[in-house]
A = this chain, B = another copy of it.
Amino acid sequence: MTAQPTAAICLIGDELLSGRTRDVNVQTIAKFLAPYGIPVKEVRIVSDEQERIVEGVNALRAAYTYVFTTGGIGPPHDDITADAIAAAFKVGIDEHPEAAALLEARYKEMNTEFTPARRRMARVPHGASLIDNPVSGAPGFQTGNVFTLAGVPKIVEGMLGDIGHRLETGAVVKSVTVRGSDLREGDLAEALSALSDKYEGLSIGSYPWFRTVNDHGVALIARGTDEDRLAQLSEELAALVRGQGVNPEIIQGEL
């Protein structure tokens, strides 16, 4: 049995910290990794400053099997992720001939000038391999265990298509959600604590929702890699909800 691979995400961008943009890439990457059995264990959002990016990436790549960065690889002057990754790995950075050729051909096709700013997008750290970008052309790149992706959500989705074959997979975490309307967390907490002790190795989360006065309740989520025990636990959770006089809704999933 090998250890479960793990992942971390480092989002790069002042616009995420300022509140201007609400991130969606964490969700996209976590959902992409789930079927590979690679749980995301930590996320950091750092500013567009080289020192902060280097610090974040180095802490995460030492602690987790894979790191995904998003943002900062476009043409603008403040897009400094490629240089920061090179600095984090203490390697040089140069134009990658394949990336330059690919961009040159693309801009020619689009009848658009291949400016020096656009040419910057062909620069990758020494030793990095390219990640295909089927959406807008400019590639991402893999440096050791770090995958550097764009920030634009559609482009992130596209680049993930060239990642799967590079990953070591782990045991897939399955989940069962047991939803009960009108329930309150405080009425279930003691029973959940006992179930949590009984089913060691599985995790049980309890998430209240309040949409309106007439639409609220608690979702109980059991997660783990052992499907038989997960099925037993989900039956006990459903029984717990029924014991409160509520008919549970049961949803199988992977998140």
10 shortest A-B CB distances, which residue pairs? A19-B30, A117-B189, A77-B193, A43-B45, A76-B206, A118-B186, A20-B255, A19-B31, A75-B186, A75-B189
A86: CB under 8 A from chain B?
no
The interface residues of chain A, by DSSP majority, are classed as mixed
* Cross-chain contact B24 with A78 (CB below 8 angstroms): no
Considering only residues 197-243 of chain A, those with a C-beta below 8 Å from chain B are: 203-208, 210, 221, 223
CB distance B15 to A205 under 8 Å?
Answer: yes
B26 and A192 contacting across the interface, CB-CB below 8 Å: no
User: Can you tell how many copies of this chain the complex includes?
Assistant: 2
Minimal beta-carbon separation of A251 from chain B (angstroms) = 11
Query: Roughly how many angstroms separate A24 CA and B16 CA in the complex, as a whole number?
Result: 11
**Interface core residue of A48, A78, A112, A116 (most chain B CB under 10 Å):** A78
By the criterion CB–CB under 8 Å, are A196 and B19 in contact? no
Nearest residue (CB) in B for A207 is B15
Residue-wise interface mask of A (1-41) relative to B, using a CB-CB cutoff of 8 A (1 in contact, 0 not): 00000000000001111111111101111110010000111
B-side contacts of A19, CB under 8 Å: 26-31, 34, 40, 255
